[in-house]
Structure 1
Amino acid sequence: MSKDFPLDPPLNSLGLPKPPGQTRVVVAMSGGVDSSVVAAMLKEEGYDVVGVTLQLYDHGAALAKKGACCAGQDIHDARRVAETMGFPHYVLDYENTFREAVIEEFADAYLAGATPVPCIRCNERVKFKDLLETARDLDADCMATGHYIRRKTGAQGPELHCATDPNRDQSYFLFSTTREQLDFLRFPLGHLASKAETRALAAKYGLPVADKPDSQDICFVPNGNYASVIEKLRPGAADPGEIVDLQGNVLGTHRGVIHYTIGQRRGLGIGGLEDPLYVVKLDADNRRVVVGPKEALSTRIIPVREINWLGDAPMTSRAEWHLSVKVRSTRPPREAILRPISDTEAEVELLFPEEGVSPGQACVLYDTDSSRIFGGGWIWKGR
């Protein structure tokens, strides 16, 4: 005598055990082509799609500004995509949250001589925290974004992996995504081979943003002019000071530490020297810009804190981890040794020195034998 056992329901394309029509997905829509394609793709597959766009700052002055996310035009574009595909769309006012969690720290970090990456903090503290909670409040089964990164299910649960297209990979900006957040997040574009595929899908769905240019600037920094934004937020931040060499000799004056970054060569205003000089340190407390030869930029030992670890075994379960690290978003991963100090702090030793390693930048950790991301942390003090 046989007995019938109920079978587990098949998983849908988002890895959830129910039909698309019974699966609600909140899509974080910036108004750009990537997130618009995600929303359209999921809607076409039959999912219960809800589009949400965040108003992160007062976009009145930036209404006509091109090349930045979440400005007034972008909110309008996201709404048009939702109308085209026939799903609800909401705009949420997150200005106060964004200012407190991202913009204020950005200004303070620059004043302290660091080189911050506000897009990481926005993902960590706003999009993947407050917006994710809003998605849960809307009874969503998951939240999808247009980021180029992959989520895979491993033996210990969801894992974060680099995008198929290395030119589009956004792992540097998403290293702080936690395991709990990964349970709820989906990244439908991570497997695409090129941005051309994304634009082809946008054209296929008839989206009004199919030919929209990619965003280039940080959304609240018009034309990439960081200094002008910081001067508005922190009056007096551009106080002048001295440019000194490694021995402390005064070589000239500068117009404010906030105008300089580690590794900068041009615009120092100290010509007439035989060998080129580079910014090697920013001494914000004493309003000094320290310059030196190119070799003074080389760094091998990097202190890292606020580490978000995504490995299967605890980070402190080993004295050393041999992996690859990225210390700038535009640079390829380099071989390194990670030596844990605590659950959230470590020392990273680069096998080959890197130039221009700066406090405030992220240090992202990669498996040397696969596409997996082991997390990352923040570079927190000078050499």
Structure 2
Amino acid sequence: MIAKLPLDSPRWRDFRGVKVNEMQVLLEQLAFAAATGGGDARRQTWKDLSGRLMDDGAVADGAYAALPHLVEAAAVLPPGQTVDFWVDLGFIATADYRLPAPADLEESFGAALRVAERAATRSLLAAGAPGQVCAQLALSCVALAGHHIGELLWQLPDHRESGLVLSCPTCGSDTEITDFSVDPGRPPLEAPLLPDPAQVRQEGHPWGEAAAALREEALGEGWEPFLRVAHDVAVRGVSAETPGQAVLCLVAGMVAVRGTPRQAAEELARRLMSLTGHFRCWDCERTWTIADGLAEPPDGVLSPHRPDRARTDSDGAAAGAEAAAAGRTSRAAMRFRQEESAVVAADGTTWGRISVFCDHLPGSFGGVDALAVVSSPGRPALVAGGGDSRRSTRPLRGTRASSRH
């Protein structure tokens, strides 16, 4: 049982957004629904109350006193009857403007969130809700688990829209993807890596049944690795430290196996799964996961960058930005530019001195995305750089340089 503020406490008069008499009415309606399996009056009462607990993205302090009572009462209802309640609670938990819980209510509110996560996950497993609602419920579940990806509730891509606006976690600049389409056949990207084996919730969690519900064939050929990531996250339990890409795989996987109608739910699941891809900020030129651009992770939980790759035919030697960045702590995407006789990375690091510059291709400008280096004993290194002119980068046809190493 959750320790709650008594309904006869004079403190209720100090809270905004809730009145004791309204709380008593709603609790009676929830008790009636639990006893009889019916009673729709509670839905309107809750709608009125929730509209005051969260107004225009701001959460009233009365939520911290009211929700422990309501969560405990709603948790005993049949799972299929509480989908709307848990989705609303997910929105409250991820609202932009939330003051910290009062010190004397912090413990009871935290306990309410743990109970809510378990009850919401049961509803998710029993749902069979329309795809978009199922996605909202799955995101509410991870929000109640304390994961930042739950904030996607506020920016969940609509199946009728093809555009995305992503905010860079570093500089805050917006990058717009005007046509975010997903191949219905095969995935357009690689599955994210499995979470760190050490990231296992120690106190127990409600996601075990979700792991059992996930099926690798749910999305068709090519999507199996994404479902394996989803299964792995569910087995270990969602925690604040789980990578956002991996949690998105779990959300999408649950939409695929629990959303209705099946075909529409699978299409939405593929779209959600594709949010595990990457984008490059046009301003600071750093690379982030699309998920991080939609729901900014907290400090210390930023997803690793994934620079563009380049190949070289010289002895299979590693080349390109990713190889150049190995062992470095900077998250910057390694784009390169010429400054007089030096090759300089996007973060200002000097990577080598150039002795001879060749002409660049006509009409190209900007920076260089990747470098390939060919060297032999006793001779200057040959460095070739290139980029995509459609992204305003400047390819170099070739340079002779002294090796940095």
**TM-score, scaled to structure 1:** 0.27
Higher helix share: 2
**TM-score, scaled to structure 2:** 0.26
- Could you say which structure has the greater relative contact order, defined with CA pairs below 8 angstroms and 6 or more residues apart? 1
